[in-house]
């Protein structure tokens, strides 16, 4: 049985605009102008809430204490507006359906808090495609610790020897390397063609290509 495990933010869906809006809301609530832009700061958005708050603090010349003070506010705002602008990347649903029909077991391994990941997957209508979903706080460890991926595969009923990880960042690349499985990184994220510098086993340019690409990495 072959297993395909997916990262969420920046891999299955472009969540950057809603993440950036949540971070900006924290600064606006303190009387500052919004310091982040969803078009140019998407990469930071995919690195998480603290990374976004840290960048905003740096640009506005504020104290780092704000990062801890505003982190829960960011999560609450994001939870309330989690799917305003978020969209699946083109071809995702059809690709997941084709993989399932071809016998792949699917799962999600994300560094997004579990409750937010569950909420988002439900709202964008694809939660039922995945046999397992582990978030940043599901276990005591998270990516790039390989146990995060290994436990996702175990809960999905898969086999690490027949697993591939889909992601979009250095964290996903390192997770796969640490776990000894192939990694596919998307070429349509903020890094664009620069993703090749991370030397993944393959680069996905469109979800229409996913089935053939995975067949090449984990043969039938």
Residues serving a catalytic function are 7
- What tokens does 110 get? 């994300």
| Strands ordered across the beta sheet of 163-167 | 132-134, 105-109, 3-6, 163-167, 183-186, 202-204
Other CB atoms within 10 A of residue 93 CB? 16
Q: Output DSSP code: residue 195.
A: G
What b/e sequence results for 36-61 when a residue is b if at least 16 CB atoms lie within 10 Å of its CB, and e otherwise?
A: bebeebbbbbbbbbebbbbbbbeeee
Q: What are the residues whose beta carbons fall under 8 Å from the beta carbon of 150, sequence distance 6 or more? A: 160, 179
Distance between CA atoms of residues 58 and 195, nearest Å: 26
Assigned token pair, 165: 């990880």
Q: Give the residue among 42, 77, 41, 72 at the shortest CA–CA distance from 59.
A: 41
């Amino acid at each position: 049985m072959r297993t395909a495990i997916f990262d969420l933010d920046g891999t299955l869906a472009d969540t950057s605009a809603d993440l950036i809006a949540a971070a900006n809301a924290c600064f606006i609530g303190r009387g500052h102008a919004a310091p982040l832009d969803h078009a140019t700061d998407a990469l930071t958005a995919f690195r998480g809430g603290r990374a976004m708050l840290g960048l905003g603090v740096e640009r506005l010349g504020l104290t780092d204490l704000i990062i801890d003070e505003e982190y829960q506010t960011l999560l609450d705002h994001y939870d309330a507006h989690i799917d305003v602008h978020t969209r699946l990347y083109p071809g995702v649903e059809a690709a997941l359906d084709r993989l399932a029909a071809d016998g792949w077991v699917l799962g999600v391994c994300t560094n997004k808090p579990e409750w937010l990941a569950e909420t988002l997957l439900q709202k964008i209508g694809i939660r039922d495609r995945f046999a397992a979903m582990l978030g940043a706080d599901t276990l005591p460890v998270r990516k790039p610790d390989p146990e995060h991926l290994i436990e996702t595969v175990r809960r999905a009923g898969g086999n690490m020897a027949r697993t591939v990880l889909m992601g979009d960042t250095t964290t996903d690349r390192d997770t796969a390397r640490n776990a000894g499985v192939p990694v596919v990184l998307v070429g349509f994220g903020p890094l664009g063609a620069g993703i090749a510098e991370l030397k993944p086993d393959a680069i996905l340019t469109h979800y229409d290509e996913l089935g053939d690409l995975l067949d090449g990495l984990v043969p039938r």
